[in-house]
Amino acid sequence: MNEAITLSVTVDRPWRSLYEAFWRPEAFPTWASGLGRSRLSQQGERWLAQGPEGAVVIRFTDHNPYGVMDHWVELASGESVYVPLRIIANGDWAEVQLTLFQQPGVDEATFARDAAWVRQDLQALKALAEAP
């Protein structure tokens, strides 16, 4: 079993509006810095991107009525990393929740760095979503 933490940010926007604005794979590079602000290219059900450690292949959850934006990132090593991501209602606002799993072989310092990175990305999503 891997250690896991769920990171969350509250966004001043209705959840469905937020989901509709950001669920598409093409929107991820606007806030997810792990994609290096690269342009994603679609190849069938998969998307190619340039991450900080090289090319990655990503599979995204289809559009759905539940605010689920899960995705799977296949690293250059061939390892696949599951990233659960949800947008849920919080009154008239939205809560964006991402669960980060500590991968095998990843030490505590690297896991903490990855968590800080996710927090930064969630703040970027919040800033984009709340911009006038």
What is the per-residue burial (b if ≥16 Cβ within 10 Å, else e) of 65-84? eebbbebebbeeeeeeeebb
Q: What's the pTM?
A: 0.91
Q: What is the pLDDT of residue 34?
A: 76
Q: For residue range 7-29, what is the model confidence (pLDDT) as tens digits?
A: 999 999 999 999 999 999 999 98
Query: In total, how many domains does the chain have?
Result: 1
Q: What is the pLDDT of residue 38?
A: 66
Decide: residue 40, CB within 10 A, 0-12 exposed, 13-18 middle, 19+ buried. buried
Q: In whole angstroms, what is the distance from residue 64 CA to residue 132 CA?
A: 26
Q: In whole angstroms, what is the distance from residue 53 CA to residue 29 CA?
A: 15
The enclosing domain of 89 has a CATH number of: 3.30.530.20
| Mean pLDDT confidence for 103-132 | 95
Provide the β-strand partners of residue 79.
Answer: none
Q: Which of 35, 40, 64 is nearest to 51 (CA)?
A: 35
| Mean pLDDT confidence for 102-125 | 95
Task: Domain of residue 87: give its range.
Answer: 4-130
Q: For residue range 79-105, what is the model confidence (pLDDT) as tens digits?
A: 899 999 999 999 999 999 999 999 999
pLDDT above 90: residue 126: yes
Q: For residue range 28-72, what is the model confidence (pLDDT) as tens digits?
A: 989 998 776 667 889 999 998 876 667 789 999 999 999 999 999
Q: Which of 68, 75, 74 is nearest to 98 (CA)?
A: 68
Q: Give the pLDDT band of residue 110 (cuts 50, 70, 90).
A: very high
